[in-house]
Amino acid sequence: MTDIHNPLPKADRYSQSQRRSILSFQKVLPAELFVFRDERVDDAGVDGSLEILIDGCYTNMRAQVQLKSSQKKNAKQDGIVMLAGIETSNFNYLLNGQLGLYVLYVEETDELFYVWAADENRRRIKMDSDWKSKKEISIPLQELNELAIYSIYERIRREAELRREILEALAHAPTNDNISVSINPESLKSNNSVEIEKVLGSSGMTLVAAGYSNLVIEKLNLVSQKASVEPRFKLISAYANYSTGRYQLALGAVADAMISNELKTEDRRFAEKIHLACQTNLGMITSEQYFQEMEAKATDDELLDAEIKLHKLIDRFRSQMERDEEVLYQIKELKRKIITSANSPYNLKLGVRVKYLEIIGFDAIREILSEIFKANARKDSRIIVPLIDQIYDCKKAFNRFEEYYEEATSLIQDAINIGHPIFLADALSTKGFISLMVLISKIAFMEFEGSYIDQSTIQKDTLLILDCCEKAQKIYKQANMIEGEVRIQLIMAQAFEVMGQIESARNLAQGVFGKAKFLGYKRHIETANEICSGKSFFSKHIQNLREMLRQKKSDKYDPSALETEEDIQHSANFLMATYKIPEDRRKYVVKDLLCIRDNTREKNHWCRHIEIQQDLTHSSSPTTLYAEDPNRRVVCSKFDCFVDKLSPEWIDLIKEFKEINCSNCLDREPAKVTTDRES
């Protein structure tokens, strides 16, 4: 009988251990958070990539994993588990990629341990360890428990977001480059080193920022020996290698560039940013240290200090729901300082102006919506505000868009003149989006006023917006900037919604949904989902506005909105702006709001029938409105009883009313208790 079991290749112990380690590692990874991809083909030191999922979507946010196995746990007296026999070449290889992670599987105890390569590198730098001169090293690890799993998830996400933030900042950083608006990488196909040096020397940094890093790296190998050692070409090499994740190569190149004193001021500042970014990604410094270093450099550089302060103020301004004149003024001053500085390169000026364009656009939209809310509040109020004042306020709000349009037109023209495609595309896309929001705000205002909405005018304005978007789309596509393409197509889809072409909007959104999902653009995924699922952006915006208008009544306040001092001041600001109340009367407006809040609390916790009534004689004219603190009295709305006493001080009135009318009342009914019981 033929023996079918011999001879056959034997599975050696190493291959068995490796399979066990991979299976054990995959078993502890929550399927809704991680995807582990086996990458042992042509294995040079990485066994797989660990990608995180966000809301069930792939993100391309990854760590590179080197799996090791051991039969027994090699633990020291202090309990630290050691991973011995790590080749220094493997350690160095893992450091050169994105987020290297060592994972050890112990067969005897079926346990897993881990360490970040960057953390171990940072520890060795502090020890001043000359590990590169050794053939092998030993690394301490920690237990891979449930808490560590979530820590790994957060670190991958945080580090990926930081890398993207740095890349975006570098892409808009000032350089001395100049390149035609029509980016043509075909010109680099020549193998003539003189021509290549000419193109790279003048436009290499912009080509990298535009997405041609690999092409630039390829052509850098063809330049002459003399050109290759020039600081400018070293800096281009550093930027290209950084953009493609080759951090150690980038660190070496940027260090060579910085040693020389031949770099211009803006190029040296750019080199310092790359140097810090490489150190951060290689684990030499933490993210916090990166930002501290940037702020420290700003103390010696007035221009950089202004740039950092400007970005902080812009973030603050974006996060605020209400207009903030003081912050807006500071932003304008910092923008003016950078724009007028003789030391500001054109790229920095354009970058600042792109950000400022977005800010004044959003601020103009906030102002017109604020005027709509004020006008609605006046509708049902006995307080009369002269019509001429109301018309002036609305006209002033819409005039804010004139400043925005002038700035947008000027910025686009300057981007064309300097020949920087990315700034041109950013300016066009910002103009397209803000113009769309302006159009929606105007439609909302006309609907609120009951004015005739001319559909032909809406279509004409929307076509102008689409034309602006198409120009930006062409540049993004030519520059291979996928995020820009996705963003601009979603703006166009929303423009189709405004014109009522819902099917076209959905088709356009569906076409970019896959890209947004696989590249992890969360905000774009949400927008595409809304459009594809039939939740029209335009309809939703108008509906939300109608709902807000219904709630924004001058004499009605949501009790939950008057809990804190900030809530009180916010409501006081709205009332004073709506009815043109002089600032010296603020204290009486605030007292009235406090009275409303206390009345609500009494209703909730004492009795729903208790009411604080105010003498409204003062509200018959703007000249008397809150000129003094009005009298009040407390009544029972159920039995129509009250204490015949008037006073501005409602707290004493409530106390006296309770003593006289509520002590023996069997019908006392706190509103909160009733609501809880009904629930």
Q: What is the CATH number of the domain that holds 487?
A: 1.25.40.10
Q: Answer yes or no: are the C-beta atoms of 607 and 600 closer than 8 Å.
A: no
Q: Is residue 654 part of a domain?
A: yes
Q: Answer yes or no: are the C-beta atoms of 234 and 214 closer than 8 Å.
A: no
User: Which of 210-214, 416-420, 453-457 has the highest average model confidence (pLDDT)?
Assistant: 453-457
pLDDT reported for residue 182:
40
Indicate if 116 and 257 belong to the same structural domain: no
Distance of CA 246 to the CA centre of its chain: 26
Q: Report d(CA 360, CA 363) in Å as an integer.
A: 5
Q: What is the CATH number of the domain that holds 254?
A: 1.25.40
Q: Is residue 398 part of a domain?
A: yes
pLDDT reported for residue 171:
58
Residues 6+ apart with CB under 8 A from 325: none
Indicate if 608 and 493 belong to the same structural domain: no
What is the band of 322 on the pLDDT scale with cuts at 50, 70, 90? low
- Considering the chain, what is the average pLDDT of its residues? 76
Q: Is the pLDDT of residue 140 over 60?
A: yes
Q: 187-208, pLDDT tens digit by residue?
A: 555 556 777 788 788 778 877 7
DSSP state of 584: G
Pairing of strands 100-106, 57-70: parallel
Q: Is the pLDDT of residue 542 over 60?
A: no
**pLDDT top residue among 289 and 574:** 289
Q: Which of 74-78, 327-331, 335-339, 426-430 has the least mean pLDDT?
A: 74-78
Indicate if 438 and 545 belong to the same structural domain: yes
Indicate if 515 and 656 belong to the same structural domain: no
Q: Which has the closest alpha carbon to 328: 302, 353, 356?
A: 356
Q: Give SS3 for 107.
A: coil
What is the band of 553 on the pLDDT scale with cuts at 50, 70, 90? very low
Q: Is the pLDDT of residue 545 over 60?
A: no
For the CA atoms of 383, 386, 390, 392, what is the dihedral angle to 10 degrees?
Answer: -150
Please say which residue of 277, 300, 323 terminates a domain.
Answer: 300
Q: Is residue 480 part of a domain?
A: yes
Q: Which two tokens stand for residue 22?
A: 């991979």
Indicate if 23 and 56 belong to the same structural domain: yes
Q: Answer yes or no: are the C-beta atoms of 585 and 597 closer than 8 Å.
A: no
Q: Is 255 exposed, middle or buried (0-12, 13-18, 19+ CB in 10 A)?
A: middle
Indicate if 515 and 399 belong to the same structural domain: yes
Q: What is the mean pLDDT of residues 285-312?
A: 76
Where in the sequence is the domain holding 188, given as residue range(s)? 172-300
Calculate the alpha carbon distances from 493 to 463, 465, 510, 646 in Å. Answer: 12, 11, 10, 60
Distance of CA 174 to the CA centre of its chain: 22
Q: Give SS3 for 514.
A: helix
Q: Is residue 124 part of a domain?
A: yes
pLDDT reported for residue 181:
33
Query: Which residues make beta-bridge pairs with 101?
Result: 65, 116
Distance of CA 398 to the CA centre of its chain: 28
pLDDT reported for residue 402:
73
Q: What is the mean pLDDT of residues 28-50?
A: 80
Q: What is the CATH number of the domain that holds 73?
A: 3.40.1350.10
Q: 428-469, pLDDT tens digit by residue?
A: 888 888 888 778 777 766 766 666 667 788 888 889 889 989
The DSSP code sequence of 587-652 is HHHHHHHHHHHHHHHHHHHT-TTEEEEE-GGGGGSTTTTTSSPPPEEEEETTTTEE-S--BS-HHH
Please say which residue of 158, 184, 209 terminates a domain.
Answer: 158
Count up the domains in the chain and report the number.
4
Q: Residue 390: in which H helix or E strand, if any?
A: helix 387-418
Please say which residue of 285, 300, 315 terminates a domain.
Answer: 300
Indicate if 82 and 194 belong to the same structural domain: no
Indicate if 288 and 186 belong to the same structural domain: yes
Q: Answer yes or no: are the C-beta atoms of 518 and 60 closer than 8 Å.
A: yes
Q: What is the mean pLDDT of residues 494-505?
A: 84
Upstream peptide bond of 7 is cis (omega within 30 degrees of 0)? yes
Q: Is residue 203 part of a domain?
A: yes
Q: Answer yes or no: are the C-beta atoms of 538 and 497 closer than 8 Å.
A: yes
Indicate if 151 and 177 belong to the same structural domain: no
Distance of CA 663 to the CA centre of its chain: 56
Distance of CA 477 to the CA centre of its chain: 23
Indicate if 137 and 226 belong to the same structural domain: no
Q: Answer yes or no: are the C-beta atoms of 118 and 100 closer than 8 Å.
A: yes
Pairing of strands 632-636, 34-38: unpaired
Can you say whether residue 604 is alpha, beta or left, with left for phi > 0 and alpha for psi between -120 and 50 degrees? Answer: alpha
Q: Give SS3 for 171.
A: helix
Q: Is residue 94 part of a domain?
A: yes
Q: Which of 21-25, 112-116, 364-368, 515-519 has the least mean pLDDT?
A: 515-519
Indicate if 55 and 119 belong to the same structural domain: yes
What is the band of 234 on the pLDDT scale with cuts at 50, 70, 90? very high
Percent of the chain with pLDDT over 90: 3
Q: Is the pLDDT of residue 297 over 70?
A: yes
Q: Is residue 497 part of a domain?
A: yes
Indicate if 534 and 404 belong to the same structural domain: yes
Q: Is residue 474 part of a domain?
A: yes
